[in-house]
Amino acid sequence: MHVLIRKIQPIDYENVLSLWNEELENQRVTAESMAVTYEQMRQNKNYDTFVALSDGVVVGFITIVQVLAAGFPVGYIKINGLAVKKKFQHKGIGTQLIKHVEQLAYQRGISNIGLASGFQRTDAHGFYEYLGFEKGSFYFSKMLY
């Protein structure tokens, strides 16, 4: 299967929203909030979102941010979201998205990529471990409003 990976464009927002809400089971994201957020991210050089297209249709995406942290002189890349449409899973698309980010990290001199994944997403955990990611911590969050 031939897949093209490119930076997100505003025309992709609706498809990425669908993937975010359906595949990541996060129904809090609305079309309006996604458009506002992605436009802000497009203006900040630390953020990138890439879409995977098959026959011109968005079938996956990955959103990343380069963050600074002690011990990482140029920072590290945190994956904020990764999803592939169900019927396109297990076809190498998620792997291609991760490899694309790994190449970007290499070009930037970044040696570490991290992510958080919900406890319920056990299939995703296996996928990440297959690609060489290691479980290193629990991630805690607190909604303030």
- CATH assignment of the domain containing 47: 3.40.630.30
Query: With a threshold of 0.85, does the pTM exceed it?
Result: yes
Q: What is the model's pLDDT at position 27?
A: 64
Which range scores top for mean pLDDT: 22-36, 47-61, 109-123? Answer: 47-61
Residue 141 covered by a domain: no
Domain membership flag for residue 41: yes
Task: For residue 128, give the nearest of 138, 139, 140, 114 by alpha carbon.
Answer: 114
Counting the structural domains of the chain, the total is 1
Between 50 and 73, the higher pLDDT residue:
50
Q: What is d(CA 74, CA 23) in angstroms, rounded to the nearest whole number? A: 32
